[in-house]
Amino acid sequence: MLDFAEIQIEGRLVSPLVVKQTTIGEVGEGTVVANSAVRGGEGWIDQPMFIDFAAFGVTISPALRDAAKGDRVRLEGFLRFERWEQDGQKRSKHKVIARTVRVEPKVENTHATKAVASK
């Protein structure tokens, strides 16, 4: 029996999705950043996690194609462990293979807009 490392991540896009055409179809690759907090000497400290992901075929929705840096996305999928060698150094990382990617709708900050308009 195969075991899968299922994962859900909600974060912000580090940069727009890069979509490439391959012999088996389209592949979209990107990175999200999700913050967690850890207790430090004088309180809580934000600790960003940068997570690479890949999406294939119909998972690459028009909303994801149009998503920009800083847009909030929700990934659901499984982890893949990748290894390679670069400049004589062995490297490795986990990557999310997305089954679904949802781009959260943008919400205007009406309070900030009103404050600027009233000045």
Low-confidence ranges of the chain (pLDDT < 70): 1-2, 4, 108-119
pLDDT value of position 31: 94
78 and 97 in contact (C-beta within 8 Å)? yes
- pLDDT tens readout for residues 84-94: 999 999 999 99
76 and 56 in contact (C-beta within 8 Å)? no
- pLDDT tens readout for residues 37-50: 888 778 888 889 99
> Which CATH architecture describes the domain 6-118?
Beta Barrel (2.40)
> What are the domain boundaries of the chain?
6-118
Our CA angle for 21, 26, 28, nearest 5°, is 100
pLDDT value of position 83: 94
Question: What six digits make up the tokens of 20?
Answer: 């490439």
pLDDT value of position 91: 92
pLDDT value of position 113: 46
Element (H, E) at 108: none
